[in-house]
Structure 1
Amino acid sequence: MTSICVVGLGYIGLPTAAVLARAGAEVIGVDVSEERAAAVNRGELPFVEAGLGEAVAEGVARGRLRAQVQMPAAGVYIVAVPTPFKQGRTGEHEADLSYIQAAAREIAPHLTGGELVVLESTSPPGTTEHMAQLILGQRPDLSLDGSGDRPVVHFAHCPERVLPGRIMTEMITNSRIIGGLTPRAAELARDLYATFCTGELRLTDARTAELAKLTENAFRDVNIAFANELSIISEKLGIDVWELIELANLHPRVHILQPGPGVGGHCIAVDPWFIVSAAPDEARLIHAARDVNDSKPRHVVGRVREAVAGLESPTIAALGLAFKADVDDLRESPALSVTRELAALLPEARILAAEPNITELPASLAAAGNISLADYREAIAAANVVVLLVDHKEFKALDRSLLDGKRVIDTRGAWR
């Protein structure tokens, strides 16, 4: 198997590199962080993910996986860098493609022809073409199709569809959509992923593959927005939303999701905006769902402010900072937003943030003078208001008598 360079050793890039190394490939991981590259070379895990630590240590020990900050020559490049959003010209969220652009500029000088460049980063339609244009603009001696007798470079998009906490399993078992800028590029990418993926490998063009990934997450976002809106309506009407959903779901063709304090994570909270920015006049339902989910943290903050009203020395236990249960991933976390906004709006309050999967406060919270990281038991004991923001297993299993005498706001329905 040809050498493979994985660009970006984050939540997707590093598991991809480890799985490829386990499949027998020689893998070089590239990351802008020297600290992260050094950690990988020691066989250490820079973030929590079940099964990843063993795979990384095994790859390094066998000499199949190494990390560095310089871009190498390779037969295959897999680009798995962040694609956050930024405020666009129209006021909507647009994709920040600067990380992809930087990777493309670093890859271009090392190409000689025959290489496969795969974009895994979740991207708006047309991004794979944009990456190819950047690279070929730097290398006019190469081409997409061999025109002018120039050597060919193949470009494809293969979006990940994995769940944090199950990445090492789902990366292998889930089906993959593989979109090429040419049919040959799609075939080469399929052959690459077939070395480790047991799921169906479905070929299409790059733009369809890009929109398919966005569509999957926009579908989930719309359904979560329905549940979140129901929770606000139910609260106004004095109805237990979790009982309501449970009863409605008895219908054989109804499956309403569970509400929460908002929507987080790099995918569901971000990807729908890429569709909205690509077709702002047409994406009306998707836009409305984003507005509902983005407004839910503010609703939770309002409930907490009502709960502390009249308290002389309010102490708030904010349970959970991650974007979902039992992970350490804080990206786009509504729990983080709620905690940060509470600190700003209630400067007189003492806020004890309990997150069992991290060891220090993120910088955005550490900057506030009234937030500290605490063990959840100590936080609950000291608090007069307890807010459950993430349904970590530790919180779901706690002795409910610890909540006696507290003002409790359960955004997850875990303590019903």
Structure 2
Amino acid sequence: MSLTVYADFQQESSEPQRIAVVGLGYIGLPTAVALAQAGHHVVGVDVNSSVVTAVNSASCHIVEPGLDELLNSAIEGGRLSASVDMPAADAYLIAVPTPTSHDGDHQPDLAHVFAATDAIAAVLESGAIVVLESTSPVGATRQVIARMAAARPDLRFPEPGRADADIDIDVVYSPERVIPGKTLQELAANARVLGGATPRAALRAAKLYRSLTRGELLLTDDRSAEMVKLVENSFRDVNIAFANELSLICEKIGLDVWEVIALANHHPRVNILKPGPGVGGHCIAVDPWFIVAQAPEQARLIRTAREVNDSKPHFVMDQIRAALAARPDARVACLGLTFKPDVDDYRESPSLEIARTLGREFPGRVVCADPYEAMLTDHRDLVMVDAAMALAAPIVVGLVAHREFRSAPRPVGLVIDVCGIWT
């Protein structure tokens, strides 16, 4: 079943609703705050009691521009609270992690989604709508429906051939499309894909999300919406892999990759991205594997892009090892450990992997600097110093182009600029 996509769909925003946002991380907390600002009564649910305590104290546990002020306003205004327990609500938004397994086969791990589903099922009331926002493999929304139906035989869930009048609970898949550092702006402006298990479910979700965003509301079915999210991040991964592979080729044949890319980008139809130490974060480093897992014979380009990007940290480490071998008394400073510039997010960060690995191999010879060090909870194998000390090291490796590093002069020592800080 596929719905018509209304690219210019407009609808009056909904009346204030009781909304439970499950998962108070980089997506869930800003979403909960934005919905509270829109006038809804929101309960943020998280299994981490320290996160719940922080939110109820109007204290942000993540760094996101503008979020502190809005969180404080929502808490003080009584529109937002947090709990470890699932409340009864009109709408449930699931925004929990969906990692892949780390045993080499990169299979999607839906344990967090299923745990959230079970908790919601226990308190569901007829007329509620459940929205899965977590990035998921195609078919995950149907698995959520089946799980809730098994837990609650007293309620009627969407199934093929069942009329809207015979459905008690509407279910939708709607992936987030925001970037850390601009989450609040993009929540309010970006187009939203709403994949309903039924057309009615998509329309109900559109009414809810109109209160959250002024962007276009794009209505489709749940399986198409699931694939759209994976395609978006796979597209970006493939383009990053092209840039990273260019850096390997240029190093091999003795060319400056930054100059090559800058010159090529003067072509009116060419826009090559910058290379880096790999790909990190909760989306691009993970989501393409969902497609590969479901269509391994067909997803050849997507798999290759993942392999190129996953191999880049090893290439960078080999460069650093060679520099340390040539200067046996020198120390190396790694600039930047987050997965991207100017955010406090260390998830799946290739720079962090590089620094930890080298720290174990060369104890006492590797130091690191990152402006978001306070948000780094695990300092194993890391020796942290301030930026000035790092920039003065005999060997300086630019891993993440944080604003603090971009504004600094090029170091006088040996520079391995992996991300183009001083190009």
**Fold in common (TM above 0.5):** yes
RMSD between superposed Cα atoms in Å: 1.5
Deviations 1:323-380 (A, max 9, x none): 1111110011110111112123323x422110112226542xx332xx3111111123
Structure 2 CA distance, aligned partners of 1:85 and 1:314? 38
Do residues 196 (structure 1) and 203 (structure 2) align?
no
SS at match of 1:99: helix
For 1:50, the equivalent position in structure 2 comes to 65
Deviation of 1:149 (Å): 8.4
For 2:22, the equivalent position in structure 1 comes to 7
For 2:48, the equivalent position in structure 1 comes to 33
Tell me: CA distance 1:87–1:334, structure 2 relative to 1, closer, same or farther (3 Å): closer
Deviation of 1:151 (Å): 5.5
Deviation of 1:311 (Å): 2.6
For 1:394, the equivalent position in structure 2 comes to 404
Deviation of 1:172 (Å): 0.6
> What does 1:198-213 align with in structure 2 at a 5 Å threshold?
198-213=214-229
Deviation of 1:254 (Å): 1.1
- Flag structure 2 segments of 5+ consecutive residues without an equivalent: 1-15
Deviation of 1:147 (Å): 7.2
Structure 1 CA distance, aligned partners of 2:257 and 2:152? 58
Tell me: CA distance 1:147–1:190, structure 2 relative to 1, closer, same or farther (3 Å): closer
Structure 2 CA distance, aligned partners of 1:413 and 1:4? 44
| Residues 190 and 213 in structure 2, CA contact (< 8 A), matched pair in contact too | yes
Pick from 376, 384, 388 the counterpart of residue 394 of structure 2.
Answer: 384
> What does 1:198-347 align with in structure 2 at a 5 Å threshold?
198-347=214-363
Amino acid at match of 1:396: R
Structure 2 CA distance, aligned partners of 1:361 and 1:107? 32
Tell me: CA distance 1:149–1:261, structure 2 relative to 1, closer, same or farther (3 Å): closer
Tell me: CA distance 1:310–1:242, structure 2 relative to 1, closer, same or farther (3 Å): closer
Deviation of 1:135 (Å): 0.8
Tell me: CA distance 1:148–1:72, structure 2 relative to 1, closer, same or farther (3 Å): same
| Residues 75 and 115 in structure 1, CA contact (< 8 A), matched pair in contact too | yes
Tell me: CA distance 1:323–1:63, structure 2 relative to 1, closer, same or farther (3 Å): same
Structure 1 CA distance, aligned partners of 2:290 and 2:330? 40
| Residues 156 and 206 in structure 1, CA contact (< 8 A), matched pair in contact too | yes
Deviation of 1:93 (Å): 0.6
Deviation of 1:413 (Å): 1.5
Do residues 356 (structure 1) and 371 (structure 2) align?
yes
Q: TM-score normalised to the size of structure 1?
A: 0.95
Pick from 385, 388, 409 the counterpart of residue 416 of structure 2.
Answer: 409
For 2:169, the equivalent position in structure 1 comes to 153
| Residues 360 and 373 in structure 1, CA contact (< 8 A), matched pair in contact too | no
Deviation of 1:10 (Å): 0.3
SS at match of 2:271: coil
Do residues 61 (structure 1) and 76 (structure 2) align?
yes
Structure 1 CA distance, aligned partners of 2:301 and 2:409? 42
> What does 1:158-177 align with in structure 2 at a 5 Å threshold?
158-177=174-193
Pick from 89, 92, 101 the counterpart of residue 86 of structure 1.
Answer: 101
Deviations 1:163-195 (A, max 9, x none): 110000001100000001111111111111001
Structure 1 CA distance, aligned partners of 2:284 and 2:380? 27
Deviations 1:59-115 (A, max 9, x none): 001000000101111110000000011147xx5211110000000111111112110
| Higher relative contact order, chain-length normalized (CA < 8 Å, sep 6+) | 2
| Residues 182 and 205 in structure 1, CA contact (< 8 A), matched pair in contact too | yes
Structure 2 CA distance, aligned partners of 1:358 and 1:47? 13
Structure 2 CA distance, aligned partners of 1:228 and 1:373? 27
| Residues 112 and 151 in structure 1, CA contact (< 8 A), matched pair in contact too | no
Structure 2 CA distance, aligned partners of 1:222 and 1:211? 16
| Residues 21 and 94 in structure 2, CA contact (< 8 A), matched pair in contact too | yes
SS at match of 2:122: helix
Amino acid at match of 1:124: P
SS at match of 2:422: coil
| Residues 43 and 83 in structure 2, CA contact (< 8 A), matched pair in contact too | yes
Tell me: CA distance 1:160–1:360, structure 2 relative to 1, closer, same or farther (3 Å): closer
Deviation of 1:308 (Å): 0.8
Structure 2 CA distance, aligned partners of 1:87 and 1:261? 20
Q: Identity over aligned residues, as a percent?
A: 51
For 2:9, the equivalent position in structure 1 comes to none
Tell me: CA distance 1:396–1:148, structure 2 relative to 1, closer, same or farther (3 Å): closer
Amino acid at match of 1:395: F
| Residues 361 and 372 in structure 1, CA contact (< 8 A), matched pair in contact too | no
Deviations 1:239-267 (A, max 9, x none): 11111111111111111111111111111
Amino acid at match of 1:48: V
Structure 2 CA distance, aligned partners of 1:158 and 1:147? 22
Q: TM-score normalised to the size of structure 2?
A: 0.93
For 1:96, the equivalent position in structure 2 comes to 109
Do residues 133 (structure 1) and 133 (structure 2) align?
no
Tell me: CA distance 1:218–1:415, structure 2 relative to 1, closer, same or farther (3 Å): same
Indicate the larger mover: 106-115 or 210-219: 106-115
- Flag structure 1 segments of 5+ consecutive residues without an equivalent: none
Amino acid at match of 1:239: L
| Residues 337 and 399 in structure 2, CA contact (< 8 A), matched pair in contact too | yes
Amino acid at match of 2:243: A
Amino acid at match of 2:74: G
